[in-house]
Amino acid sequence: MNDTELRLSFWRDGSTKSERLAAAALKLSGYEEIDPQNPLGGPDGKKDIVCIKGGVRWVAAVFFPGGPKSFSAVKKKYLSDLAGATNEYGGFVFVTNQTLTAKQRVTLTKYATDLRKEADLIHLQQLQNLLDSPHGYGVRIQYLSIPMTLEEQLSWAVQSDSQTAQALTAHTRELLLLRASIERMSAGQEDIVRTFKLSAPMAPPTADLISVSSFVKSDSWSSISVQLTPAHILLFHRLLCFDLPKRSVGQLRTEDAWLGTSKGRSTELAQPMRPQDIKGGLEELCKAWVDEYPGLRNPDDKLRAISKFHARLLLIHPFLDGNGRVARAVLMQQCLDLFQRAEMSLLNKGADYYSALKNADQGNIDPLIDLIRPIVFD
């Protein structure tokens, strides 16, 4: 049990701070317009937090006792708070510091789905992964007072550099549109109308909701990844990264890429493949996966194959941007095809993840297998 899990499990900071932490966790999980109802105490109509996700209005309930509780106690609290999700709310999300097995989570969410409501659970392991990921380090420092290690500072810097690059790209596009608008203003009223269209505000980058979602295969159709090709990899990029510049969406990288720290130093991770080798590298990777797929019977063999594919795809680094999103989407589909479930919220994306990728690049795939295992096994 690491420090984050320990502090969450034995909560000592009261209901006000737990509700604020839960609100931050909901934000990290893709919820929007988060509105705590009465975090300072008092009646809240069994609605700790109201929020929106996927166009649905959700009621969020928070349960942070001072230590582990029996499942019967958790279920009693869940049902009590579910009563607060009245007809005007289409979803119910339960945020708790308790450990819940996959079977227990199914049992709880069925109570909500039986009432024709969307159901979600953010439990102890999911909370820990959220707070131990680069996006969650700030929340962890604020509410748990757990500082970043040197390894976590590196992973945060790498993630921040990527976000900064995306922001600079978006702002550059806006400046180019603005300059084009100014140049056209002298052309008359017709060009002014065109100027307003060119100056339309840019949409914010698409959230990586795959990383905080859970999936279960409930259909009987044949698997998708059994016939995985580079064309599918490009398709994933087009579907997930439409917020990137059009010239790069669904296009293989034609420029050299270099992985470094925020101080401009080379990281200890292996450097991406050269542009001229990407096409052949993807073809070789997908062919090896398709050839191996029919013989994957043992769960350990399946995990090893998935992990090797994930590490190799990231090392090829086929796109200028969006490689992480695509790799996690392919990982999700491979887990669904081979294990019929993919609880992506349990994938550690912090310092341990970068360390596991480094080890994989050096021939030791076991740490990455250990990180992917919780996605498919409870």
- Region of 46 (left: φ > 0; alpha: ψ -120 to 50; beta: rest) is left
Radius of gyration from C-alpha coordinates of the chain = 23
**Among 209, 210, 158, which residue's Cα sits nearest to residue 358?**
158
Question: Tell me, what's the pLDDT at 377?
Answer: 86
Tell me the C-alpha distance between 142 and 122, whole Å.
19
- Region of 41 (left: φ > 0; alpha: ψ -120 to 50; beta: rest) is left
Tell me the C-alpha distance between 108 and 114, whole Å.
10
Phi then psi for 127, rounded to 5 degrees?
-60, -45
Sheet holding 91-96, edge to edge: 32-36, 49-53, 56-63, 91-96, 118-122
Cα 71 to Cα 78, 120, 182, 354, distances in angstroms: 10, 17, 64, 35
Residue-range domains of the chain with CATH: 3-147 (3.40.1350.10), 209-375 (1.10.3290.10)
Question: Tell me, what's the pLDDT at 167?
Answer: 55
SS3 234: helix
Tell me the C-alpha distance between 168 and 314, whole Å.
23
Question: Tell me, what's the pLDDT at 331?
Answer: 96
Tell me the C-alpha distance between 188 and 283, whole Å.
52
What pTM does this model have?
Answer: 0.66
Phi then psi for 376, rounded to 5 degrees?
-115, -15
In tens digits, the chain (378 residues) has pLDDT values of: 789 999 999 999 998 999 999 999 999 998 999 998 776 655 555 678 999 998 899 999 999 999 999 999 999 999 999 988 888 899 999 999 999 999 999 999 999 999 999 999 999 999 999 999 888 999 999 999 999 887 788 777 766 655 555 555 555 556 656 666 665 555 555 554 454 444 444 444 445 566 657 788 888 888 999 999 999 999 999 998 877 777 788 899 988 876 655 455 555 556 788 999 999 999 999 999 999 999 999 999 999 999 999 999 999 999 988 999 999 999 999 999 999 999 988 888 888 888 999 999 999 999 999 999 999 987
Whether the Cβ atoms of residue 80 and residue 72 lie closer than 8 Å to each other: no
Angle at alpha carbon of residue 189, lines to 188 and 194, rounded to 5°: 100
CA distance between the termini of the chain: 16
Place of tokens 């203003």: 185
List all residues 6 or more positions away from 84 whose beta carbon is below 8 Å from its beta carbon: 45, 46, 47, 59, 61
Query: Which amino acid is present at 266?
Result: S
Pairing of strands 91-96, 56-63: parallel
**Which residue intervals of the chain are DSSP H helices?**
3-9, 14-28, 71-82, 102-113, 124-131, 137-144, 150-184, 189-198, 230-240, 275-292, 299-316, 323-339, 351-361, 366-376
For residues 14-47, b (16+ Cβ closer than 10 Å) or e, as one string?
A: eeebbbbbbbbbbbbbbbeebebbebeeeebeeb
